[in-house]
Amino acid sequence: MVKPDCVETNQVESIKALVNASGFLIITERMLRLEESLARNFYAEHSKREFFDDLVDFMTSGPVAAMVLQKRNAIAEWRELIGPTDPSKARVSHPQTLRAKWGIDTQRNCVHGSDSSLSAGREISLLFGGSRSTGKRFMR
């Protein structure tokens, strides 16, 4: 998912070019503005963290570009391409990554990546359809 900071600064096409150049297939994509309840649900695992409310405010502040990506070992490969959570650290240790190139700070870090196949199924269901089966369909 391309977050509101990078949608606002028009980076979606540049990001998609890198996604394609890195061997991912974009299976489906959608621009949407997250409702507050959806953002809270999407990031529920962070609900006890002090940054949670700010994160929800940020994620609902403008449109996001959600994509389902396909590649062998896609979860790990995507996390490799996006780089560490904190863009200032990414710029030092992983300068070729998306967060190093376009992230602003730990919250406005340009892109999200699912951390496991289980999370990917859940997150795809939340962003692309109402039912659990939507995510599972992409995870076969």
Q: What is the closest distance, in whole angstroms, from the C-beta atom of residue 70 to ligand CMP in the complex?
A: 20
Judge residue 73's burial from the number of C-beta atoms within 10 Å of its C-beta, 0-12 exposed, 13-18 middle, 19 or more buried: exposed
Question: Where are the strands (E) in 33-133, listed by range?
Answer: 64-70
Token pair belonging to 102:
């376009």
Closest residue by Cα to residue 100 from 114, 115, 78, 82? 82
In this structure, what DSSP letter does residue 45 have?
Answer: G
Nearer to ligand CMP, 24 or 111 (CB): 111
Asked if 107 touches ligand CMP (CB under 6 A), the answer is: yes
Nearer to ligand CMP, 8 or 133 (CB): 8
Using the contact rule CB under 6 A, the part of the chain among 4-12, 60-68, 104-112, 127-135 near ligand CMP is: 104-112
In this structure, what DSSP letter does residue 110 have?
Answer: S
Each residue 3-42 as x (binds ligand CMP by CB under 6 A) or -, in order, gives ----------------------------------------
**Residue ranges binding ligand CMP (CB under 6 A):** 46, 51, 55, 85, 106-107, 109, 112
